[in-house]
A and B are shown apart, each in its own frame.
Chain A
Amino acid sequence: MEGFYPIIILFILFFLNIPIAFALMGASMYYFIFVDNVMSMNMIMQRFVTSIESFPYLAVPFFIMVGSVMNYSGISNSLMQMAEVLAGHMAGGLAQVNVVLSMMMGGISGSANADAAMQSKILVPEMRKRGFSAPFSAAVTAASSSVSPVIPPGTNLIIYALIANVSVSKMFLAGYTPGILMTVALMITVHIISKKRGYLPSRDKVASPKEIAIQFINSIWALLIPFGIILGMRFGLFTPTEAGGMAVLFCVIIGTFVYKKLKLRHIPIILRDTVYGTGSVMFLIIGAKVFGYYLTLERIPQSITTFLMDFTDNKFVLLIIINLLLLFIGMFIEGGAALIILAPLLVPAVTSMGIDPIHFGVILIVNIMIGGITPPFGSMMFTTCTIVGVKLDEFVKEIIPFIVALMIVLIVLTYSAPIAMFIPNLMG
């Protein structure tokens, strides 16, 4: 029983309005000081440093910085104009752009938190100008950020493939269908809400082909950046993490020499934004990882899993239970950490029941991503709320329809393996 105290303490701290990162750390520290007798107390500090001592995490500051550079370099404006020409006539135009952009960014980056951070910075201010409320803008951004790690490439897809011992290339192929389904579901949700609330289109008519062509030429440099990143990765010039650093370089060059808007005086502001953003996002991830360390030491995820396996031997019932369990755990633990803890526990159990491990990987990752936007502890939820400056209770009201939409996608993916596995079966 003593092993469960930290969870209770966590909830108390949480309701006392202690900053979430500190609530997680405080609850964990109770355990490491008063309960654990494996190691000396100092050694817990090892986790504070080493849990983020990993090269792929560098994508977080890189994409926060890209977002900031884009603002000052005229690139976001250019992209916004292009987006408006394309989607401005639809109800909730910029909200739709927010969703589609996450799908496109998913083809470049793999981190939901980085995507959420970047779009909180470049898109949300524009949305606010066009009359969208801050909580709705934050909800759209957080919800759509769940798409980018599902669409390949992405570190979560690779990590899962390694843990489950399946082909990474197959796992990559398996990401497209859920990514596209999630995008469509989110766009429908945006459409319905925008119609109801009268979030207006920002232009009267659909743009003519000529208008689109002119805007395309005007925005060509901004549009070339994602292509530069994709091509650079395709031709092996850099890894997905390094792509973030290269994106910073591209944006600086284009902002300075093409749009000529980026000046020396912007640099301290960009750096300041990056330091603040990186600090607050990663501090939360550290809190989640330290808390996850306590959960691992107490084997709490294992106890829950064992309990479940005793509960049923029906494949479909098991999947429902696992879905619920993953949603629950995803709310508390940072996505990557949840994946690393849970995949090794669940994969042998599900494969023994005849479920394809690649199919299960899709379910697992989509599940964890939904957990990331679900209160009380979803990590993308915190990223967007921190950067946009929205209170959690306001955010929660706005995120519910999006969670419902993504849950429907999750149910479709879970119970129709042929749909989920269409592309890997076709090409693998």
Chain B
Amino acid sequence: EEAATDTGEKKVVIKLSTKFAEEEQTAKSLKRVVEKINERSGGSLELQLYPNGQLPIGKNSMEQVVSGANWISVDGLNFVGDYVPDFNAINGPMLYKNFDEYLAMTQSDLVKNLKDEAAKKGIKVLSLDYLFGFRSMLTDKAVKTPADLNGVKIRVPNSQLYMYTLEAMGANPTPLPFTEVYSGIQQGVVDGLEGSLMTIYGRKMYEVRKNVSLTNHLLGVSAVCISKDVWEGLSENQRTIIQEEFDAGAKYNNDVTVELQKEYRVQLEELGVKFNEVDLPAFNVETAKVFSKFPKWTPGIYDEIQKELKEIRAK
């Protein structure tokens, strides 16, 4: 470690790795957070942001965290789920009606316990609240009920949760690398995709398909994680600064995201994209089955989540 700084603490350099590109909102929000932390710490902390997957992302970023690197990973919840499987369950299909319900869930005792489990595996979860938006269906024809997805090949990321969810919704889930999605739809390898408005607009997917059906089947959200050992090696003051700024950053990020989603919808409509409401209860019945498909998830986790949700909705 380098020389003492003006606050008298040892200077710590931490790399922050995320898949999001500079122009995407999550990366923009993180840039603000990093700047604020570096400024507030008076030089005792230097967080370096590496967006756009310049450094390892996903599993590999999380592996860096677990191995005790000076590293912060900002990526999907499912990568914490590799270590504590129930993180996948709280972000399972069709649980939340809006962002606020999810944000209340991350404050619940259920999730607090999961964070403790993660800590045992060496992962300090700084935030689960960096929202990216609900995922919808982008297809040729409007989707109203599960029957409308019968035989329709939908691109999914190479993940079991997505495979089961889309299968439950009636579609033929087809894993494709993201770089092959656009041409894959164009050429008919797949008939459509599922993704957030951010992806549909930002990655120009509206050029190849014109119907968005608002299935909101999964919620795009990032977890911010740091090594537990690195975290405990920081001073009280450094920890406070980091935690407060990531919390404030999440709030800012989500406010902007809500606005952006409205804006993107308007822009997409101007580009000729049609938005369709779907029969949510019909899909919900089907996707509930997904929760029993994972042997690693705690049995009865679905009921527990529903119980928490009931309390959240009652408030």
A binds B: yes
Interface set of A (CB-CB < 8 Å, partner B): 37-40, 42-43, 46-47, 50, 54-56, 153, 155, 158-159, 161-163, 165-169, 172, 233-241, 293, 296-297, 299, 340-341, 344, 348
Identity of the chain A residue whose Cβ is nearest the Cβ of B180 in the assembled complex? A239
Judge whether B207 and A169 touch: CB under 8 Å. Answer: yes
Q: Is there contact, CB below 8 Å, between A236 and B189?
A: yes
Given that A158-B182, A163-B21 are known contacts, is A233 also in contact with B187, CB under 8 Å in the complex? yes
B63: chain A residues within 8 A (beta carbon): 43, 46
Contact, CB under 8 Å: B22 / A162: no
Whether A240 pairs with B64 at a CB distance below 8 angstroms is: no
Would B50 and A155 count as touching, CB distance under 8 A?
no
What are 12 A-B residue pairs whose CB atoms fall within 8 Å in the complex? A43-B64, A46-B63, A46-B64, A54-B177, A56-B179, A155-B179, A169-B186, A233-B187, A236-B184, A241-B180, A299-B48, A344-B54
18 further contact pairs, Cβ within 8 A, besides A233-B187, A297-B15: A37-B70, A38-B69, A38-B71, A39-B67, A40-B68, A46-B56, A54-B177, A55-B180, A56-B180, A153-B183, A158-B180, A167-B204, A239-B180, A241-B177, A293-B55, A297-B55, A344-B52, A344-B54
How many chain B residues sit at the interface, stated as a range, is 35 or more
Q: How distant is the Cα of A50 from the Cα of B63 in the complex, in angstroms?
A: 12
Q: Which residues of B contact A341 (CB under 8 A)?
A: 54
Who on chain B is nearest to A299 by CB?
B48
Among candidates B69, B179, B190, residue contacting A162 with C-beta atoms closer than 8 Å: B179
Indicate if the CB atoms of B54 and A340 lie closer than 8 Å. yes
Q: How far is the CB of B231 from chain A (nearest CB, A)?
A: 15
Q: Which residues of B contact A241 (CB under 8 A)?
A: 177, 180
Structural contact, B67 and A158, CB atoms closer than 8 A: no
User: In the complex the two chains form, what is the Cα distance from A364 to B60 in whole Å?
Assistant: 28
Q: Which 10 A-B pairs have the closest CB atoms?
A: A236-B188, A39-B69, A236-B187, A168-B182, A236-B189, A344-B52, A239-B180, A158-B179, A55-B177, A38-B70
Q: Are the C-beta atoms of A165 and B21 separated by less than 8 Å? A: yes
Query: Known contacts A39-B70, A163-B21, A344-B22: does B53 contact A240 (CB below 8 Å)?
Result: no
> Quick one: given A168-B183, A239-B184, are A50 and B56 in contact (CB under 8 Å)?
yes
CB distance from A281 to the nearest CB of B (A): 20
Q: How far is the CB of B58 from chain A (nearest CB, A)?
A: 9
CA distance A240 to B180 in the complex (A): 8
What distance in Å separates the Cβ of B18 from its nearest Cβ neighbour in chain A? 12
Contact B187 A235 (CB under 8 A): yes
> CA A39 – CA B208 in complex, angstroms?
42
- Shortest Cβ gap from A295 to chain B (Å): 10
Are A42 and B189 also in contact (CB < 8 A) when A153-B183, A158-B183, A297-B15 are?
Answer: no
Given contacts A37-B70, A55-B177, A236-B184, contact A296 B21 (CB under 8 A): no
Residue interface bits B182-208, CB-to-A below 8 A is 1, else 0: 111011111000000000001110011
